[in-house]
Chain A
Amino acid sequence: MNINFTLIAQAIAFAVLIWFTVKFVWPPLLTAIETRQKEIADGLAAAQEGKSALEVAAKKSEAAIAEAKQKASEIIGQAEKRGSQIVEEAKGNAKTEGDRILANAKAEIDQEVNRAKEGLRSQVSALAIAGAEKILRKEIDAKAHSEMLSKLAAEL
């Protein structure tokens, strides 16, 4: 158990080994591990962020759907209203049109009646003249009496 030069040699070897580890072994391992730890932490944070973003998006989409539903029902309501309005309008239009047509027809009928009356009048006068002519052939001058008869016919 004698202390000798081996001690110094071993101390130098120890110093060299420490220097080697400090310089070449520890830093790359530390960098690799710390980088990985940071990456994992970042990944977890990103996952958390994604989760909360998903929640926000879900809420947003729900709100959008609700809004769309409301709008749709509004639109349907408006459309219904508008539809009934159109029907009412159409009804009104049809009524006025019908009235108009009816009035026209009445006017036409009146006209026809008048025309028929006119025709009848002239025919009656012609018939009357013919009858009177037949009756009065002998004694009445056609010329003298036609004036009186046409006056009579106009009065009918």
Chain B
Amino acid sequence: MATEHANNSEHALTPAGYIEHHLSFNAHPVTEGAGFWTLHVDTFVMSVALGLLVMGLVWLVARKATSGVPSKGQAFVELIFGFVDEQVKNIFHGNRHSFIAPTALTVFLWVFAMNSMDFLPVDWVAGIVSFFGGEHAKWRAVPTSDINTTFALALSVWILMIFFSIKVKGLVGWLHELFFSPFGTKIWVLPLNFLFNLIEYVSKPLSHSLRLFGNMYAGEVIFLLLGLWAATGVSGTIFGAILGAGWSIFHILIVALQAFIFMMLTVVYLAMAHEGH
């Protein structure tokens, strides 16, 4: 089923084969022609499952939320709620409860859950998957180390950004802003204004998505390299284990921080769309 089986010949366990295997997606064509119409089943299944899990857990608590003395679960959920709400309140000055704040909560929890998959030891995931799907089965557990996921989120935010811009300022107001800011309304600066805004509109989703992708991908590669080291012998195993533990602990910070940064940028972009230049 997997499309990329070109290097079946080097299936004998080499470092390149190991990394290749761990960084390959479980890709399925959704139509005959493959190419763009390919779905990374691992990314999709993991992200949807994690999304349903975290938002479902929060929903279970929210459903029975009481204004009286909260249960421990509710207190925890309210802690996260308060944290996200506070951040949004500081950045966005409008009716945040109708859309932006819940979006921020979704982004934060979902990205955090997807990033957290990096804590699963890479070879355990591979072991479980090969147990069910055979030796050649590929499975990447961290959806945010797939550029498709981070781009999907960033582009969704980008579309929302343009949507809110037009909704708040009107189509004319938005086009006006596109050509008349930030340098003014003189005829000869209009192309400059447009170029400036164009760069801004292109760079926002790129930096938004690539920051998260880069961090998660790099984290995974480091784990793979440490795994490779462990394969070289006893000393490699010991040092690989120690450094792997250290990297995991450091990764807790990265996972939380990147989820937070992704949420903050989402809120900032959406808030900027509501304000004139």
For chain B residues 24-64, which have a beta carbon within 8 Å of chain A? 27, 30, 35-40, 43-44, 47-48, 51, 55, 58-59, 61-63
Q: Among the listed stretches A2-10, A80-88, A133-141, which one makes contact with chain B, having 4 or more residues with CB under 8 Å of it?
A: A2-10
Closest chain-A Cβ to B6's Cβ sits at a distance in Å of: 15
Across the interface, which residues of B come within 8 angstroms of A9, CB to CB?
Answer: 39, 44, 152
Question: Do the beta carbons of B65 and A6 come within 8 Å of each other?
Answer: no
Q: Cβ of B36 and Cβ of A4 under 8 Å apart?
A: yes
Q: Does A41 contact B (CB under 8 A)?
A: no
- Chain A residues 19 to 53 lying within 8 A of chain B, measured CB to CB, are 20-22, 24-33, 35-36, 39
Measured between beta carbons, the chain B residues less than 8 angstroms from A64 are: none
- Judged by a CB distance under 8 angstroms, whether B131 is at the interface is no
* Interface class of chain B by DSSP: helix
Question: Min CB distance, A110 to chain B, in Å?
Answer: 105
Within the complex, what minimum Cβ distance (angstroms) separates B16 from chain A?
17
Residue of A with least CB distance to B147 = A1
Max chain A C-beta neighbours (<10 A), residue from B59, B77, B103, B106: B106
Which chain B residues lie closer than 8 Å to A33 at the CB level? 67, 78, 81-82
Whether B180 is near chain A, meaning CB under 8 Å from some CB there, is no
Q: What is the CB-to-nearest-CB distance from B109 to chain A, in angstroms, rounded to a whole number?
A: 9
Q: Which of B90-108 contact A (CB under 8 A)?
A: 97-99, 101-103, 105-106
Q: Which A residues have a C-beta under 8 Å from some C-beta of B?
A: 1-11, 13-15, 17-18, 20-22, 24-33, 35-36, 39
Report, nearest first, the 7 A-B pairs whose CB atoms are least far apart. A10-B152, A35-B67, A6-B148, A26-B102, A32-B65, A11-B152, A6-B40
